[in-house]
Amino acid sequence: MLISLTNPEVAILMMGIFLFAVLLGFPIAFTLMAMGIGFGYYAYYDATMMEHIFDNRIFQLFVQNTYTVMDNNVLTAVPLFLFMGYLVERAGIVAKLFFAIRLAAHRLPASMAVAALITCTLFSTATGIIGAVVTLMGLLAWPAMVKAGYDKKFASGIICAGGCLGILIPPSIMLIVYSVIAQLSPLRLFAAAIFPGLMLAGLYIAYAVTRAWLNPSLAPRPPAEDIPPRSEILKEVLVSFVPLFGLIMLVLGTILAGIATPAEAAAAGAFGAILLSWFYKTLKWQNFKESVFLTAKTTAMIMWLFIGSWTFSSVFSYLGGHEVFEHFFTSI
């Protein structure tokens, strides 16, 4: 069947099968690798040059892409930022932060929603990925908001919107990945993304406050008897907010000021997360072990995505797929 198709037609077929497989629920990384190796074997097939079945350029390309990914210095920052975020989460620091901000913002409409969004913003700068933020805040903030009488749809929207800030606010893992793919400076991407990310977080907060002000039934105010004295609120904020905020500012500040590379700042952040856990007396072997395991698991997933996407892209480009899509979109 493939013999009668031109290379660009094979590239379109390759993309179509990939999209169909993803819609069926196959893992993206391994689907990319399977499509890349399978169609690459066809693209580079030359019977006159083959001594055995594995004598095909696609296998050399796959090994080369794997080595290139593992040898990339920029990607060194990925596991370090992930470890920093996972340890902060496992140590219970984010939970302390959420409840401290909730108390500090009790005078605002939708104070819990505001606290959830601020916590999502700060946690996004500590972990750099979406899944961890949405999962943790879904377990932490959503039940608290529903128990306080918040509208379930409103509470769910707050969690989802705040959790997605991790893709934009530095040190976003997605920005690091994009910097490698597009061969751009991660520092320039961080500098370009930090203001839009914070502005988006501010707009979310303004929206939540406005909605609750116009319709108080969406987010009832907390009872006065549940609010502790100001001195206790100030103490909670100082203990929970200031150390984590200082760590985040140290990491981002050194990157944006050009003092440290993302990898160096990530290493400092990971060490700072260990110190914070020790400061809060939550540095336990179980938390440390789980953080390391989750870091390895997520890092492996990202690396396999890199290897699969580069293999797929190389074969797709060799078959002329890029030119087909470029011509299609420029002709619209």
Question: How would you write the pLDDT of the chain (332 residues) with one tens digit per residue?
Answer: 455 777 788 888 888 888 998 899 888 888 988 888 888 887 777 666 666 566 667 778 888 878 887 887 778 888 888 888 888 888 888 888 888 888 888 888 888 889 889 888 888 777 666 666 777 778 778 888 888 888 889 988 998 888 888 788 887 778 887 887 777 888 888 888 888 888 999 999 999 999 999 988 888 888 777 777 888 878 888 888 888 888 888 888 888 788 888 888 889 888 988 998 888 888 889 888 988 998 898 888 888 888 888 888 888 888 887 787 777 778 77
- Determine the pLDDT at residue 1: 47
- Determine the pLDDT at residue 207: 93
Residue 199 to residues 121, 194, 202, 246, Cα–Cα distance (Å): 11, 8, 5, 20
- Determine the pLDDT at residue 46: 66
- Domains in the chain: boundaries: 2-71+306-330, 76-283
DSSP string, 131-192: HHHHHHHHHHHHHHHHHTT--HHHHHHHHHHHHGGGGTSSS-HHHHHHHHHHT--HHHHHHH
Identity of the residue numbered 12: I
Q: Compute how many other C-beta atoms are within 10 angstroms of the C-beta atom of residue 313.
A: 16
Burial class (CB in 10 A: 0-12, 13-18, 19+), 220: middle
- Determine the pLDDT at residue 184: 81
Q: Contact at 8 Å (CB) between 255 and 170?
A: yes
Residue 267 to residues 127, 172, 247, 271, 282, Cα–Cα distance (Å): 13, 15, 12, 6, 20
- Determine the pLDDT at residue 3: 57
What value, to the nearest 5°, has the Cα angle with vertex 185 and ends 71 and 196?
130
Identity of the residue numbered 199: M
Q: Which tokens is 69 given?
A: 């990914």
Residue 103 to residues 110, 230, 233, 240, Cα–Cα distance (Å): 12, 9, 6, 12
Instruction: Please report where in the chains the tokens 């930090």 appear, as a residue.
Output: 194
Q: Which tokens is 55 given?
A: 């004598």
Q: Which tokens is 312 given?
A: 């797929």
Rounded Cα distance, 201 and 6, in Å: 49
308 φ, ψ (degrees, to nearest 5): -65, -45
Rounded Cα distance, 133 and 177, in Å: 19
